[in-house]
Structure 1
Amino acid sequence: MNFVATTTRDGGSNPSGDRRVRRTQAALARALLQLVEKQDLPRITVADVAERAGVSRSTFYDHYRDVHELAEVACTAMIDRLIEAIPTPRTVTPELGPDAIRSLEGFFASLAEHAGLYRALLGPQGSARVADHIRRRMTGVIHERLSEAVGEQGEQGEHAGLPPDLPPDVPAAFTAGALIGVASDWLERGCPRSPAEMAALTWPLIGALYRI
């Protein structure tokens, strides 16, 4: 998975878009993702990441305070792309069901690809920053699309069984929390089911929510 980050150690952004900075940050992120597949995140040191990325430790500290901050940036950047593919009420229809299931499968497959990283950051001793970012981003996307779906229902007479007076914030937060909970539990237990199985098991639950 390609990765480009522009977050600096002070939490701001690099306004100049300097290519060298972005290349270095991308190299550090790739190095971490490679290392985390072989050992637990808490055991990975700055020296490990710097060596794998081909940079000095001082260069690492020019961009991130520690390995955990780098992991948070890498995780949230990848999550932003995953969230866009999550099925929402606009796809909760029989004819679009297969596409929605494939989207869900892609979501779980992407989590499994870097399971070690996500497990460390979303587990009991994980990152509150990452968990909150995921919740907010996912809720926001679902809220936006749910609002569109309700608007379409008012114009077309029906849409996925949604009542016209449904406040989008509640089902959006509910759906986001449910998906995060399912994904976190699946990762914590070592991904015992395949992404395809998880998609097939999760989709009916989402469908049930929006066929009110």
Structure 2
Amino acid sequence: MALPRDRSTDLNDPRVRRTQAALRRTLIELVQDRDLSRISVADVAERAGVSRSTFYDHYRDVHELAEAACTAMIDDLIDAIPEPGTREETTDTLLTFFALLAEHAGLYRSVLGAQGSARVIDHVRRRATVAAYVGALRAATGGDGPSPADFTDGVPHDVPAAFTAGALIGVATDWLQHGCPCSPAEMAALTRPLLAALYHEDGRTRS
């Protein structure tokens, strides 16, 4: 198998970004029809219209491509982590969160499951912790406060934020592994009171 070249100097090349985006889109399409474990480099390359050597210029294998695809989507998905607030705000945000997971359930199921990617799981955990921490600060100040971009190196040790992140990952993973038996709306309705109770006890919710 060919080894990928050093890609650190390629990140600003629009051709590289286009090729990587095309490979990520292709994998997302393929995983709708079959398990990630049954998708080969040849499958992705053929569907994307590139050679196998081009694939290996960017990714070591399908697993690394899956990590890249999920990490990119998770950066958008984590923006939907609920900020403590009114019942309507929290439910709407949770609905978005679970709907985005359901849209690419096959891929998330593969990388968040028992045989999944530790890198992706850690990425979700860190981003979710930041989102929960920032949301609590904004709630406590009536909407003013820092943004997630202010915490690129993580947040101070914060038990409610870490608990929220872990709880959401656990609930979402269990839901995905069971084939999404409830709708995103039902998941939002079931999860909202649990998070509301957490932040009520923590004393950081706004009325």
TM-score normalised by structure 2 residue count: 0.84
**Could you say which residue in structure 1 is the equivalent of 2:10?**
14
State whether structure 2 residue 169 is matched by structure 1 residue 180. yes
Match of 1:111 among 91, 96, 101: 101
- 8 Å CA contact 2:24–2:65 kept in 1: the answer is yes
Gaps of 5+ in 2: 145-155, 202-207
**Could you say which residue in structure 1 is the equivalent of 2:198?**
209
After TM superposition, list the pairs within 5 Å mapping 1:117-132 onto structure 2. 117-132=107-122
**Could you say which residue in structure 2 is the equivalent of 1:159?**
none
How far apart in 2 are the matches of 1:191 and 1:12?
Answer: 38
Cα deviation code 1:176-196 (max 9, x no counterpart): 000000000000000000000
How far apart in 2 are the matches of 1:190 and 1:9?
Answer: 38
- CA gap of 1:9–1:99, structure 2 versus 1, over 3 A, is farther
- Which residue type is aligned with residue 131 of structure 1? I
How far apart in 1 are the matches of 2:100 and 2:37?
Answer: 22
Identity in percent: 67
- CA gap of 1:34–1:142, structure 2 versus 1, over 3 A, is same
Match of 1:170 among 156, 159, 167: 159
**CA deviation after TM superposition for structure 1 residue 54, in Å:** 0.6
- CA gap of 1:133–1:193, structure 2 versus 1, over 3 A, is same
Tell me the matched-pair count.
Answer: 186
Gaps of 5+ in 1: 1-7, 156-166
Match of 1:138 among 106, 109, 128: 128
How far apart in 2 are the matches of 1:26 and 1:34?
Answer: 12
Cα deviation code 1:149-177 (max 9, x no counterpart): 34x27x9xxxxxxxxxxx87100000000
- CA gap of 1:172–1:113, structure 2 versus 1, over 3 A, is same
- CA gap of 1:148–1:142, structure 2 versus 1, over 3 A, is same
TM-score normalised by structure 1 residue count: 0.82
**CA deviation after TM superposition for structure 1 residue 9, in Å:** 6.4
Report SS of the residue matched to 1:211. Answer: helix
Match of 1:192 among 173, 178, 181: 181
Report SS of the residue matched to 1:173. Answer: helix
- Which residue type is aligned with residue 64 of structure 1? Y
CA RMSD in angstroms comes to: 2.0
**CA deviation after TM superposition for structure 1 residue 137, in Å:** 1.0
- 8 Å CA contact 2:164–2:195 kept in 1: the answer is yes
**CA deviation after TM superposition for structure 1 residue 100, in Å:** 2.2
How far apart in 2 are the matches of 1:147 and 1:101?
Answer: 19
- Which residue type is aligned with residue 121 of structure 1? V
**Could you say which residue in structure 2 is the equivalent of 1:68?**
63
How far apart in 1 are the matches of 2:48 and 2:57?
Answer: 14
